[in-house]
Amino acid sequence: MTGTARLFLLLPGFVALCLANLGYANECSVKQPHPLTEEQLALIRGDLPEAETLYRQKVAQQPKDYELMAGLVRTLLAEQKVDEAESTVKAALAAAPHSVELLTALAEVQYRQGVPWDMEKPLQTAQQTDVCYPRVHLVLARYLRFNSYYASSLKEIKLAHQLDPYDPDIRRMWMRTLPLKERIDELKAYLAAKDIDPDALRRGQEELAVLESRADNQMSGCHLASPVTATEIPFTPIMRDAQNIRGWGLDVYFNDHKSRLQVDTGAGGLYVSRSVAEHAGLRPITRFDANGIGDKGPQGGYLAYADSIKIGGLEFRNCVVGVSDRRSIVDTDGLIGMDVFSSFVVTLDFPWRKLTLGPLPPYAGTAAATPSLNTEEGSSSEDSGEGSAAAKRDSAAAKGPHDRYIAPEMKSWTSVYRVGHDMIVPTALNNKRMRLFIIDTGAFRTSISPSAAREVTKVHSDANSIVKGISGNVANVYSGDRITFRFAHLQQEHDSVLSFDTSGLSKNTGVEISGLIGFDLLGLLVVKIDYRDGLMDFQYSADRGYQHIR
């Protein structure tokens, strides 16, 4: 049995243990107000070299202060020095194997390394050592959220904040759990601080503008205006050249102006070109930057409102859309991330060229919720739901975040990880290494990072292949020799596997991403997605190169 299979079998029991420990944590004392240290302030404002220098100086003076050592490890992670962070924390643990600070830091390193199945042991030991340590509950909250255990994650982050409301990392995650008005007030206070990373400041300002706009439109937020709650929509081809299809699209009408958006599980929400937005008369909200594959970095654009969005027989009103400053996006009108349909069961039937949307199974003892178009990062499964327009309409439906629910009809589906819009599947490479790959229908070819490829095969420079994304072309492209990819219940061999640096993806998701499962594999399948519960199902054609693994 693989490590991944073991993880998904034991996780519910691990969650039960976490919740049991919450009872003991109620007896913990709360940290009193304390000023941030100079190294903490350097880390918060994004001066990472200075933060590392200060931490190293203090660790040298106080080698048994394990909180300082954990702070150094977190700084190394922020600098993307993942290997150095691992060696640092493991060396420290050799001398202090029961340090709750170091055990928690090790779990943070393992999360960033993309081996979340290794996190349970240090987290369990850390809780047994000191259930009152605030950051262990922060890391637990991240881990549970990664696994679509949103209700359990909420309990952990609330406890972390109760124990230490002054930890900046805890405060940032806790803010996202608040009802809308409180979240706006808390975010304003956070942004008013003198010491803040410029990138964090920009992202916070974007978030605040969207939240304030949402508050102004509270009763008429993005909602389904048509009576249809299930539908079937045909795909339209997006051509690579005159002969070859590189993907599938959907005809989407913004304010009755037609556009063709590429179906892209690697993208989030709706992201359209400036020309589409101008023709449709979309109303700007705030500036924002979009990140994607390519070496040109974040791309400028703005968030806007669409009064009406029509897709097949569905119409949604008053929804947020991302707009690029460019007049085209990777040679298309734009991208439609399938997470916009996260309140449906999404079926991408590539052999029959159609998208099917169906109702999610309701939680036990609750009524089904009214579907909406989820055009902002996150999903209803993560939301508190307090004060939202959907909550007011669905008084009988389940509200607030829930833990992963596997309905009887989904027992055979694969549990996957989720970060924002990304569905991440553990993938075995040549039956030697288990790594994390994003399911990305917008990527024409399956790809792998050079470092992951070198673990299982030989890698060569490839001057003939071109990789292009939202952030432009990738400068250095490689090719890996034969690799067998095994994910879910499927296995397929690939020769000359496309390879390029995925460190940008890893930094953005906060977890090591070793590649993309692309359209060349997915385009032969029927792919079913339950975003709410972090579940996927892959149906294959035996005559097209796939092997079924039992």
Residue-wise over 351-384: b if at least 16 C-beta within 10 A, else e? eeebbbbbebbebeeeebbebbbbbbbebbbbbb
The reported pTM is 0.90
Task: Assess whether the region 224-403 and the region 414-548 belong to the same CATH fold.
Answer: yes
Q: What element of type H or E holds 521?
A: helix 519-522
Q: Which residues contact 418 (CB under 8 A, 6 or more apart)?
A: 146, 148, 424, 531, 534
Q: How far is CA 389 from CA 170, 180, 385, in A?
A: 28, 11, 9
Q: Per residue of the chain (550 residues), give pLDDT as tens.
A: 344 444 454 566 666 666 666 666 667 888 777 788 999 999 988 999 999 999 999 999 999 999 999 999 999 999 999 999 999 999 999 999 999 999 999 999 999 999 999 999 999 999 999 999 999 999 999 999 999 999 999 999 999 999 999 898 999 999 999 999 999 999 999 998 877 888 888 888 888 988 888 887 665 678 888 888 889 999 998 877 777 777 899 999 999 999 999 999 998 899 999 999 999 999 998 888 777 776 667 788 899 999 999 999 899 998 999 999 888 787 889 999 999 999 999 999 999 999 999 999 998 878 777 788 887 654 445 554 444 444 445 544 556 799 999 999 999 999 999 999 999 999 999 998 899 999 999 888 899 999 999 999 999 987 777 777 766 677 788 899 999 999 998 998 988 999 999 998 999 999 999 999 999 899 889 999 999 999 999 998 654 444 444 4
Tokens 């808390």 — which residue?
186
Q: What element of type H or E holds 128?
A: helix 120-129
CATH code, residues 414-548 = 2.40.70.10
Q: Domain 224-403 falls in which CATH fold?
A: Cathepsin D, subunit A; domain 1 (2.40.70)
Q: How far is CA 465 from CA 273, 445, 477, in A?
A: 26, 11, 7
Q: Give the whole-angstrom CA distance, residue 151 versus residue 340.
A: 21
> What one-character-per-residue DSSP string does 454-480 give?
HTTS-EEE-SS---EETTEE-S-EEEE
CATH H-level superfamily of 3-177 = Tetratricopeptide repeat domain (1.25.40.10)
* Domain residue spans of the chain: 3-177, 224-403, 414-548
